[in-house]
Amino acid sequence: MKKSPNEITLIVEYQIGFSNFFFREIESLHRNDSNTKYEKLFDGVILIDSNPKTLEKSSFVKRITEVVKTFSSFHELQHLDASFGQFYVRIRDSSDCHSTQDEKILGEKLGARGRVNFKNPDNIFIAYHGKKLWYLGRQIYQSNQEKLQNRKAGMRPFFSPTSMDPRFARFCINVAEVQDGGTIMDPFCGTGGMLIEAGLLKYNVIGIDISQEMVLGTRLNLKFFGIHDFTVTRANFLELSNAINVDAIVTDLPYGRSSSRAGIETAELFSKLPQKMEQFLKREGCIILVTNTLEYLHNFDELFSILFIIPLTIHRSLTRYYIKMRKKPKESETLK
């Protein structure tokens, strides 16, 4: 695989239970690099040539290590250079067939004697046992679950019980294919979960909600997380004139809250949304739509192409669908 100047060979550990979300996210984050490919070593672990900063955007990534050596057996290993300082080593494989004794042997081969430090190491090394080879990776990133937990609905100054988990809000932003510095709109912003994640990733954010309480609460939440450059207004999105064009529309459609839809029933909402969203989107911009029904999705067919649909079961009677759509070029644009 040919690497760009900012790419290195990485091992990425991700949350297994949400692999369908993670792989869609990887594809979107590398949309501009047709050469980017990955190899699945085993469940929860992939090998990829990438820029670590790109992968760190994902809330499904647990750990990233830079590959420093590949080997087929411990006998091939030599002591690590003194510049790596104090360290410790762990083994990851698909079947847990390697014990702590193997880790001790591996450490000895790498020259760990007198250099082992579990409390404050200079480096952490993970040896991944693939189908054919071993990969020795130096940890360069580990997700901060505490930061993620602090962004959950109940930890915000203003929240609603129906607020989306920040992991999935971050996913929605990441798959929207917006360039750095672009603009993301949430026309049903609620308590601002989508806008928080977009703002933390340094996008320009625009929020709209028909409820003044939600608008004030969203502003409060954005400021709480250090996001001060935003536009959040009270309005009925379906009645807005097309004053601006945005790079993407990302929204969790309100359900069970008719006030947030101005009393409009679901069928009517879906009949009006496509044309209104199309008016606000730039050419070939994306919509990321989260909804609990696919019944009316056909209303988007004329103006948008559906790129994927991922179902997520919340409980026995509720499934939420994560849908990515791209605006179709107009006939006049295709002729140019």
Tell me, what's the pLDDT at 258? Answer: 47
- The C-alpha atoms of residue 209 and residue 174 are separated, in whole angstroms, by 22
- The C-alpha atoms of residue 110 and residue 189 are separated, in whole angstroms, by 52
323 belongs to a structural domain: yes
**What is the pLDDT averaged over residues 302-322?**
94
CATH of the domain at 264: 3.40.50.150
Question: Residues near 188 by Cβ (< 8 Å), separated by ≥ 6?
Answer: 208, 209, 237, 251, 252, 253, 254, 260, 261
Tell me, what's the pLDDT at 231? Answer: 97
From 78, 111, 142, the end of a domain falls on: 142
> What is the dihedral sign for C-alpha 201, 206, 212, 216?
positive
Same domain, 122 and 207: no
pLDDT per residue over 251-299, tens digit each? 999 865 544 556 678 899 999 999 999 999 999 999 999 999 999 999 9
- The C-alpha atoms of residue 159 and residue 156 are separated, in whole angstroms, by 6
Same domain, 36 and 160: no
- Amino acid in the structure at residue 301: D
Q: Is the pLDDT of residue 334 over 60?
A: no
Confidence of residue 310 (pLDDT cuts 50, 70, 90): very high
Q: Beta strand 281-291 with 246-252: parallel, antiparallel or unpaired?
A: parallel
Same domain, 102 and 82: yes
Cα torsion through 42, 56, 225, 238, rounded to 10: -80
Same domain, 246 and 125: no
Tell me, what's the pLDDT at 187? Answer: 96
Say which range, 5-9, 17-21, 89-93, has the weakest mean pLDDT: 5-9
Same domain, 293 and 256: yes
303 belongs to a structural domain: yes
265 belongs to a structural domain: yes
Confidence of residue 68 (pLDDT cuts 50, 70, 90): very high
- The C-alpha atoms of residue 326 and residue 285 are separated, in whole angstroms, by 6
pLDDT per residue over 133-188, tens digit each? 999 999 999 999 898 889 998 999 998 877 899 999 999 999 999 999 999 999 99
Structural domain count, the chain: 2
> Which tokens hold the place of 122?
């200079």
Tell me, what's the pLDDT at 274? Answer: 97
- Amino acid in the structure at residue 297: L
Placement of tokens 């991944």 in the chain: 128
Same domain, 166 and 136: no
Same domain, 135 and 263: no
From 142, 171, 196, the end of a domain falls on: 142
- The boundaries of the domain holding residue 116 are 8-142
Tell me, what's the pLDDT at 304? Answer: 98
- The C-alpha atoms of residue 114 and residue 81 are separated, in whole angstroms, by 14
Q: Is the pLDDT of residue 250 over 70?
A: yes
Same domain, 55 and 161: no
Tell me, what's the pLDDT at 325? Answer: 98
Same domain, 32 and 49: yes
CATH of the domain at 54: 3.30.2130.30
211 belongs to a structural domain: yes
Provide the 3-class DSSP secondary structure of residue 17.
Answer: helix
- The C-alpha atoms of residue 246 and residue 18 are separated, in whole angstroms, by 29
44 φψ region: left (φ > 0), alpha (ψ -120 to 50), beta (else): left
pLDDT per residue over 88-135, tens digit each? 999 998 876 667 789 999 999 999 999 999 999 999 999 999 888 999
